[in-house]
């Protein structure tokens, strides 16, 4: 089985995904890392040098390839992945794939992102909780309709990562 983790920036797709994979004895794969390896460029450089349309086409292509794997994998996808190129439909129709939305409140996401903004070029310039809340709120409004199509939804609010992993395992099995 392939478990596809989706959610907004800072929802824990990578950190929770790694813990989940270890607990289940699955492989862990981050789609952005995979794209960087295949393209020989960072995601931000792909955007800069080849444009977003190229990136989104490659993202859909690599996602489709990975979803055909027979390996037991936890796959973390980018926050925008489900929202473009019919990717959500590809995920939902793929055989032996479970889709999972790591759901967080607007306040949880804004607080986490404000603390971690230096590591994220897209939001590094946002310096107040009010501006961060507005930024995240606009994105979530656009994206939540895709995220909510996931087969499983697990809240991360006020939970330790290990507890979220346990919640996911209970939902999956």
- 64 appears as a binding residue in the annotation: no
Could you give the CA distance from residue 17 to residue 33 in angstroms, rounded to a whole number?
14
Handedness of CA 59, 62, 65, 69 (dihedral sign): negative
- 105 appears as a binding residue in the annotation: no
* 51 confidence band (pLDDT: 50, 70, 90): confident
- 115 appears as a binding residue in the annotation: no
* pLDDT for 151 beyond 90: yes
- 10 appears as a binding residue in the annotation: yes
Q: Which residues of 45-82 are buried (b: 16+ CB within 10 A; e: fewer)?
A: ebeeeeeeeebbebbbebbeebbeeeeebbbbbbbbbb
- 15 appears as a binding residue in the annotation: yes
* 89 confidence band (pLDDT: 50, 70, 90): very high
- CATH of residue 157's domain is 3.40.50.300
- Total domains in the chain come to 1
Highest mean pLDDT among 50-54, 123-127, 168-172: 168-172
Q: 3-state class of 162 per DSSP?
A: helix
Q: What is residue 122's predicted lDDT score, i.e. its pLDDT?
A: 76
- 13 appears as a binding residue in the annotation: yes
> Domain containing 59: what range?
2-172
Tens digits of per-residue pLDDT, 94-107?
999 999 999 999 99
The C-alpha angle with vertex 24 and arms to 11 and 13, in degrees rounded to 5, equals 10
Could you give the CA distance from residue 82 to residue 88 in angstroms, rounded to a whole number?
5
CA distances from 4 to 83, 120, 159 (A): 14, 22, 20
- 14 appears as a binding residue in the annotation: yes
């Amino acid at each position: 089985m392939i478990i596809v983790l989706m959610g907004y920036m800072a929802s824990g797709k990578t950190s929770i995904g790694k813990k989940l994979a270890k607990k289940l004895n699955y492989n862990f794969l981050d789609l952005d890392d995979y794209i960087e390896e295949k393209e020989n460029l960072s995601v931000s450089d792909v955007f800069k040098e080849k444009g977003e349309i190229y990136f989104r086409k490659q993202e859909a292509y690599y996602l489709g390839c990975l979803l055909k794997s027979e390996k037991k994998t936890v796959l973390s996808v980018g926050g925008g992945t489900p929202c473009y190129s019919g990717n959500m439909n590809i995920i939902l129709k793929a055989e032996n794939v479970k889709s999972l939305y790591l759901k967080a409140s607007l306040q949880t996401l804004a607080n986490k992102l404000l603390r971690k903004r230096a590591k994220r070029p897209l939001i590094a310039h946002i310096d107040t909780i009010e501006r961060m809340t507005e930024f995240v709120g606009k994105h979530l409004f656009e994206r939540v309709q895709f995220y909510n199509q996931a087969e499983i939804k697990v809240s991360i609010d006020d939970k330790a990562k290990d507890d979220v992993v346990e919640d996911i395992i209970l939902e999956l099995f």
